[in-house]
Structure 1
Amino acid sequence: MGDNPTRPTATRSPSMAQVAARAGVSHQTVSRVLNDASLVKEETRLRVLAAIEELGYRRNYAARILATNRSRRIGMITAHLGLHGPSMIALGVQEAGYAEGYDVSLVGLPELSRAMLDNAVDRLSDQAVEAIVVAVAHRDAAEMVRSLRLAVPVVTVQGVVAGTPLAAGIDQELGAELAVGHLLDLGHRHVAHLAGPSDWVEAEQRRAGWRRAHELRGLLPGPELQGDWSPESGHRAGLRVADDPHVTAVFAGNDPMALGLLNALHARGRRVPDDVSVVGFDDVPEAAYYWPALTTVSQDFAALGRGALTLALAAVRGDHEATLDPVVPTLTVRASTAAPRD
């Protein structure tokens, strides 16, 4: 039986030599263009890029690493991607990497342990990443990261202390101060706090901001309630708040807990904000559609991602003491806060 004349035949990917021939330049010139060298004239560079596009050339990834000792790939380790903050941080780093011509390899940890962290590092090392961004806010994570022995630099985000080398973060304490200060400036005297998990650095930083806002005004804080970032924990706390007529305002450590709190207050007949004002933290996309629309702290995760990548690239260039100021959060005021009733 003869060959089917309509069957497509397999073709090999075009080579760098073919690109060079099409552009009328040397093999070395094509290599310089691919590696963003500054020695190539603009006219020549455009001609090479046109040949690459015309031929559909795709450079072999492994060959690029061997030729340049650069993978243009950043690794990222994170956990709790089901939560708004960690997922948005991961997205911010990925978008920043893309803008700078870097791929970002993400490894999500199902739980935080030294074994899991070591495994994630091994997986990223196999991909020849140039640096690793670690975004895990547990208190134990910082010590685990410091104990790692790596051949590439590590940048930390989430729960970092200002001025720490290779650490990018959002000023969590300031964000809490803005939220609680807003309530106190409305006339509330003692703001209750629904806190996040005690083993999260960011939860402790937000708690510190809650206390500081009172201290700056010479006031004592209201009661502290313990949550776990979930709406369920917010609902449980909300039932306690609803039974306490002395509580007129609550600062929730994140928006999902604020959602559960609102639900419990509504169920018990406490009106928001007439009877109790509520402020959250994170400004999740749904916050504007809570009932009532939630006053909350907004975090610029895109700026955080750019900062993390800036530090990673600085470290790749040899600056292992690079620092960045923390990203400044903002308060978005909506309908869930008002002055207390007389």
Structure 2
Amino acid sequence: MNVHTGTDASGYVTSETPPEAKRPRAPSIRDVAKLAGVSHQTVSRVLNNHPSIRDETKSRVLAVMGELQYRPNRAARALVTSRSRTIGVLTSHRSEYGPASSIQAIEEAAVLQGYLVVTANAEGADSHSIARAITHLLDQAVEGIVVIAPQVRVFDTLAEMQLDLPFVTLQSTGRLNDHALSVDQMTGARLATRHLIELGHRGIYHLAGPQDWIEAEARMEGFLREMGDQDVPTTAPILGDWTAEFGYHAGRELLRVRDFTAIFSSNDQMALGLMHAIHDEGLDVPRDISVVGFDDIPEAAHFWPPLTTVRQDFAELGRRCVALLIDHDELPEGTDAPGSVIPTLVVRSSTAPPSA
């Protein structure tokens, strides 16, 4: 960088950055207004999608914004409008496929409605850590919160805090029914179990998720209900931890007795470990043992054999979450009211009728 030097009145050497080296000023709303030939109030109305703005004026202002690379100051807009246009997401296991996919879906749906998304991760298992994460979101002036943290203790903390802003939960516990919007995990589990029963299986095991996860509990209950309704005997589900490593070791233990012909795994990763264990025993999927997963992760179609699993529509879930939180007057015409999202069974090559 070129620096000009000189002396001040005291004789000390001074330096000054030349004007051409200074950082250029970011364009302002008044710059946009001047170049577009409108008032700054008109530019503000364009930013807020005011219905009084003519299409040709809106197009001209947007074109100038693009030319100047103008980015509105959301903090300033929040002061003027009392709207931050920001949605908060509370999670505690954002690395898992389900929560990560939910966050992505919410972000994509929010952007389409002109909203930003901020995320807070409740790293600790205690109420203090959960409350701290919620407080962090409130400090960002969020207009609503989506809760995708899957443990029951999160909902206990929510009830204690008595939030005075809209929030929606992606896990239904029966305690916050007015706020619940979830994939029907129980129906998904029943679809998977029914598929195996209809193929002719009667010895069916269930590899469940962690006991404190709401989805794991719902999937286990769906499995048990379907088995009971179909009058098929069952054994106690095996509690896992969502990992392929656990699925592998559980499979090795189960194969010591091998009193089953099918396994419904509560997620695809544990199903992958199960299939690995089955192959290591010299057995074949699905000729010897059928396997069904849950989630339909992107890799599920490329397991060997490709995995039969339950698919959750995360895009639809994200759209409905955002729709539930923001003003319905701002939604595009034809947007449906929020409701439960029903998963679908994706049948691939990992399931077949039991061999003779």
- Judged with a 3 Å threshold, the aligned counterparts in structure 2 of structure 1 residues 123 and 242 are, in CA distance, closer, same or farther, namely same
RMSD: 2.4
CA apart distance, 1:161: 5.1
Following the alignment from structure 1 to structure 2, what is the Cα–Cα distance between the partners of residues 36 and 110? 38
Q: Which residue of 2 aligns with 1:336?
A: 350
In the alignment, which of 2, 12, 15 is matched to residue 28 of structure 2? 15
Counterpart AA for 2:151: H
- Judged with a 3 Å threshold, the aligned counterparts in structure 2 of structure 1 residues 5 and 236 are, in CA distance, closer, same or farther, namely closer
Comparing 215-224 with 61-70, greater Cα deviation is found at 215-224
CA apart distance, 1:8: 4.0
Q: TM-score, normalised by structure 2?
A: 0.88
The answer to which structure, 1 or 2, has the higher relative contact order (CA under 8 A, 6+ apart) is 1
Following the alignment from structure 1 to structure 2, what is the Cα–Cα distance between the partners of residues 223 and 340? 21
Q: Does 1:155 align with 2:168?
A: yes
Q: Is the 8 A contact 1:188 1:339 kept in 2?
A: yes
Structure 1 runs, 4 residues or longer, greater than 3 Å off: 1-10, 159-163, 314-317
Q: Is the 8 A contact 2:320 2:337 kept in 1?
A: no
Q: Which residue of 1 aligns with 2:140?
A: 127
Q: Is the 8 A contact 2:320 2:339 kept in 1?
A: no
Q: Is the 8 A contact 1:183 1:249 kept in 2?
A: yes
Counterpart AA for 1:56: Q
* Count of equivalent residues: 338
Following the alignment from structure 1 to structure 2, what is the Cα–Cα distance between the partners of residues 324 and 41? 32
Q: Which residue of 1 aligns with 2:185?
A: 172
CA apart distance, 1:106: 1.1
Following the alignment from structure 1 to structure 2, what is the Cα–Cα distance between the partners of residues 189 and 30? 67
CA apart distance, 1:314: 4.4
Q: Which residue of 1 aligns with 2:234?
A: 221
Q: Does 1:234 align with 2:247?
A: yes
CA apart distance, 1:325: 2.5
Structure 2: stretches of 5+ with no match in the other structure: 6-15, 331-335
Following the alignment from structure 1 to structure 2, what is the Cα–Cα distance between the partners of residues 243 and 174? 31
In the alignment, which of 48, 60, 65 is matched to residue 35 of structure 1? 48
Q: Which residue of 2 aligns with 1:303?
A: 316
Q: Is the 8 A contact 1:282 1:299 kept in 2?
A: yes
Counterpart AA for 2:343: P
Q: Does 1:289 align with 2:302?
A: yes
Structure 1: stretches of 5+ with no match in the other structure: none
Instruction: Write out per-residue CA displacement over residues 204-251 of structure 1, whole angstroms, 9 at most, x where no aligned residue.
Output: 111111112222322222452221111222122211221223201110
Instruction: Write out per-residue CA displacement over residues 312-331 of structure 1, whole angstroms, 9 at most, x where no aligned residue.
Output: 114999xxxx9732111111
SS in 2 for 1:101: coil
Counterpart AA for 2:355: R
- Judged with a 3 Å threshold, the aligned counterparts in structure 2 of structure 1 residues 116 and 40 are, in CA distance, closer, same or farther, namely same
Q: Which residue of 2 aligns with 1:77?
A: 90
Q: Which residue of 1 aligns with 2:195?
A: 182
Counterpart AA for 1:294: L
Counterpart AA for 1:245: R
Q: Is the 8 A contact 1:137 1:159 kept in 2?
A: no
Following the alignment from structure 2 to structure 1, what is the Cα–Cα distance between the partners of residues 263 and 324? 36
Q: Is the 8 A contact 1:294 1:335 kept in 2?
A: yes
Q: Is the 8 A contact 1:252 1:258 kept in 2?
A: yes
Counterpart AA for 2:131: D
SS in 2 for 1:165: helix
Counterpart AA for 1:304: L
- Judged with a 3 Å threshold, the aligned counterparts in structure 2 of structure 1 residues 323 and 222 are, in CA distance, closer, same or farther, namely farther
Q: Percent identity?
A: 44
CA apart distance, 1:280: 0.7
Following the alignment from structure 1 to structure 2, what is the Cα–Cα distance between the partners of residues 161 and 75? 22
Instruction: Write out per-residue CA displacement over residues 136-187 of structure 1, whole angstroms, 9 at most, x where no aligned residue.
Output: 1112222222222334222111345599223221010111111111110000
Q: Is the 8 A contact 1:155 1:166 kept in 2?
A: yes
Q: Is the 8 A contact 1:162 1:326 kept in 2?
A: no
CA apart distance, 1:13: 2.2
Q: Is the 8 A contact 2:146 2:167 kept in 1?
A: yes
Comparing 294-303 with 225-234, greater Cα deviation is found at 225-234
Q: Which residue of 1 aligns with 2:266?
A: 253
